């Protein structure tokens, strides 16, 4: 005998479409980054990063170079109104030669500005900067903000200065003019992952170097260098953005600070890591569509500091969109994370 169903007494309202902005979304430049020395499209070098094969990069490259068709279609299907576009990793940061890095950054910024001008209601620009000379980086940032209308900066991890083995991180004393410009212009700086340099711990395990694992500790270490060198004590209004739900920092924040309390060099910041996570650091959901990880991040940082991102073209908008549409959080937090926080942080 079947159990009788309760009668439905009316039609409940359908949820309104969730408005979305995404800010870790990438493009490529057709001449500068996508061909090898013989002018062929480069896939093999990229394909050695992590577990991703040439088939993956064929698709990714066509998506990186598209601004007018499939990118907009993918955004539309997932209900993404606007994206902030940034040059794909490693971008300018792997160009060792100073003059080449600086001129390439300008070329790429001008290229992006043109694409943004063609779709001003859908695209917002993020600046690419060469770090060889922080004064020049600051001037290029000012040009990008004041002349090109860009709203943010994307830095692809450490910069290789003059040689591949000479790495510069953004806590370097020489970077002071850049932090001055960032705070004067009130522009958030987004640190994007790149693989660790000469990392012996991954020998024999290329599958661990990229998005699977290596990106997170490399980028978290970069952020911690900035925190524990006192950048946010010197520049209390500086704004740092990390992808992938904070590259593990929300989960590890207590343990990190606990360890720092026994710091061997006696160098302490004015505040605790959780305070900087509450005042200076924002994180995005790019490529980390985990309910548990999002809950941990909300508990550590609060929903006001979390912003939706997808990481197109390396992730599909459909998956990221579905995640933020349905993940078990309050409707208030969902709207903040999907849209409102980005509007406020980037003054859109």
Q: Taking the complex as a whole, how short is the minimal distance between the CB of residue 311 and Mn ion, in angstroms?
A: 4
Q: Taking the complex as a whole, how short is the minimal distance between the CB of residue 216 and Mn ion, in angstroms?
A: 12
- Nearest residue relative to Mn ion (C-beta): 311
Closer to Mn ion by Cβ: residue 60 or 134 = 60
DSSP annotation of 10 reads: S
Closer to Mn ion by Cβ: residue 24 or 247 = 24
- Token look-up 């439905």 returns 8
Closer to Mn ion by Cβ: residue 88 or 159 = 88
DSSP annotation of 41 reads: B
Residues that bind Mn ion (CB under 5 A): 24, 311
Q: Taking the complex as a whole, how short is the minimal distance between the CB of residue 13 and Mn ion, in angstroms?
A: 36
Q: Taking the complex as a whole, how short is the minimal distance between the CB of residue 324 and Mn ion, in angstroms?
A: 17
CB 281 within 8 A of CB 306: no
Closer to Mn ion by Cβ: residue 257 or 310 = 310
Q: What contacts 231, CB < 8 A, 6 or more positions away? A: 170, 171, 179, 238
CB 206 within 8 A of CB 157: no
Closer to Mn ion by Cβ: residue 24 or 340 = 24
Q: Taking the complex as a whole, how short is the minimal distance between the CB of residue 253 and Mn ion, in angstroms?
A: 22
Cα–Cα distances in angstroms (integers) from residue 270 to residues 173, 228, 234, 236, in the given order: 18, 9, 10, 11
Residue 77 CA, distance from chain mean position: 22
Burial of 69 (0-12, 13-18, 19+ CB in 10 A): exposed
Q: Rounded CA gap, 81 and 123, in Å?
A: 9
Residues annotated catalytic, as ranges: 311
Residue 230 CA, distance from chain mean position: 22
Residue 284 CA, distance from chain mean position: 7
């Amino acid at each position: 005998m079947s159990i009788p169903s309760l009668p439905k007494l009316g039609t409940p309202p359908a949820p309104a479409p969730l408005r979305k902005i995404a800010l870790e979304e990438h493009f490529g430049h057709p001449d500068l980054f996508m061909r090898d020395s013989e002018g062929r499209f480069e896939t093999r070098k990229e394909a050695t990063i992590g577990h991703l094969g040439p088939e993956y990069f064929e698709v990714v490259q066509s998506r990186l170079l598209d601004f007018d068709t499939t990118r907009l279609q993918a955004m539309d299907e997932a209900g993404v109104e606007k994206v902030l576009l940034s040059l794909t990793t490693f971008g300018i940061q792997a160009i060792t030669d100073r003059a080449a890095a600086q001129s390439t950054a300008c070329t790429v910024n001008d290229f992006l500005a043109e694409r943004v001008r063609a779709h001003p209601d859908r695209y917002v620009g993020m600046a690419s900067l060469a770090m060889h000379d922080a004064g020049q980086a600051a001037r290029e940032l000012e040009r990008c903000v004041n002349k090109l209308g860009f709203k943010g900066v994307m830095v692809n991890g450490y910069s290789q200065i003059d040689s591949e083995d000479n790495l510069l991180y953004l806590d370097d004393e020489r970077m002071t003019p850049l932090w001055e410009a960032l705070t004067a212009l009130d522009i958030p700086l987004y640190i994007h992952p790149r693989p660790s340099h000469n990392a012996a711990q991954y020998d024999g395990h290329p599958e661990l170097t990229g998005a699977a694992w290596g990106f997170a500790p490399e980028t978290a270490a970069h952020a911690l260098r900035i925190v524990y060198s006192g950048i946010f004590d010197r520049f209390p209004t500086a704004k740092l953005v990390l992808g992938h739900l904070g590259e593990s920092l929300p989960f590890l924040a207590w343990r990190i600070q606990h360890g720092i309390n026994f710091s061997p060099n006696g160098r302490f910041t004015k505040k605790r890591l959780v305070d900087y996570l509450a005042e200076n650091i924002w994180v995005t959901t790019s490529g980390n569509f985990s309910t548990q990880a999002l809950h941990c991040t909300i508990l550590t940082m609060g929903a006001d500091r979390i912003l939706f991102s997808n990481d197109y073209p390396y992730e599909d908008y459909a998956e990221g969109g579905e995640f933020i549409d349905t993940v078990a959080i309050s409707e208030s937090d969902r709207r903040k994370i999907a849209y409102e926080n980005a509007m406020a942080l980037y003054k859109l």
